[in-house]
Amino acid sequence: MAQAIDNSIYETLGERWYTAQDDPVALLRAEARVKHAWILKRIDGAKTVLDVGCGAGFLTNEFAQKGMTVKGIDMSEDSLRVAKAHDETQSVDYLVGDAYHLPFPDGYFDVVTAMDFLEHVEEPDRVVRECARVLRPGGQFFFHTFNRNPLAWLVIIKFVEWFVKNTPKHMHVLRLFIKPQELAMYCSLSGLQVSEMTGIRPVWGTLSLRDFISGHVPVGMQFTLTSSLSLSYMGVAKKVKAS
């Protein structure tokens, strides 16, 4: 029987989403700095945004601070509670919902994002298709996920389990990782044309031996972009026709 991913862990984090350094969520926060800058640089006059699998609102709340009309959807009620508490604008519409059946009409949004989410579902092609459906023609779909290969298993799964103290079991499952060409195909079949992909990697100089021993992610840990898509990668696609 195929190993199932454990998405229930996101119901237990609470404020640790924003404070924990002894949990992989600290890596997510560190990555967010480079991811968000990359996305915001490429958004072209967007007014309406949907963040699918928004978690505790790292990206959603930043969109709101830029003056956009934002909706965030997730299955985790506790994560949404935390997201709303950290929405300084108190303008984001947070909804409990299913990414396979987005509760919005066709062509509703200028931008849809699915960051660190596609590797958490059994049918990512269905999620991409739904994201495309609710995008207007010319709208942008932003994504981030992990490549599926032995190196990704070693670094993304095992390395984090070994060196980050409170890493839950089955937080990630290799079989759910997605090769870039597969994701490009999902997009193409949904009427989305991928225009750019980039890899993300740690800046190793921001880590020390002491950090590895302690099991804590240092507050100053940094990530940077890389041309290699072998591990962590993100991209953008434009809706070119009806999905």
In single-letter form, the type of residue at position 193 comes to Q
- Is the pTM higher than 0.85? The answer reads yes
pLDDT of residue 242: 55
Question: Cβ distance 56 to 23 under 8 Å?
Answer: no
CATH code given to domain 7-239 = 3.40.50.150
Does the CA dihedral 207-234-69-96 come out positive or negative? negative
Return the structure tokens found at 233: 């990668």
| pLDDT for the residue 208 | 80
Give the alpha-carbon dihedral of 97, 92, 68, 222, to 10 degrees: -90
Domain-wise residue ranges, the chain: 7-239
CA 42, CA 9: separation in Å to the nearest integer? 32
pLDDT per 10-residue tile (average), the chain, 243 residues: 87 95 95 96 93 98 96 97 98 97 97 98 98 97 98 95 91 97 98 98 85 86 96 97 57
The per-residue pLDDT for 141 is 98
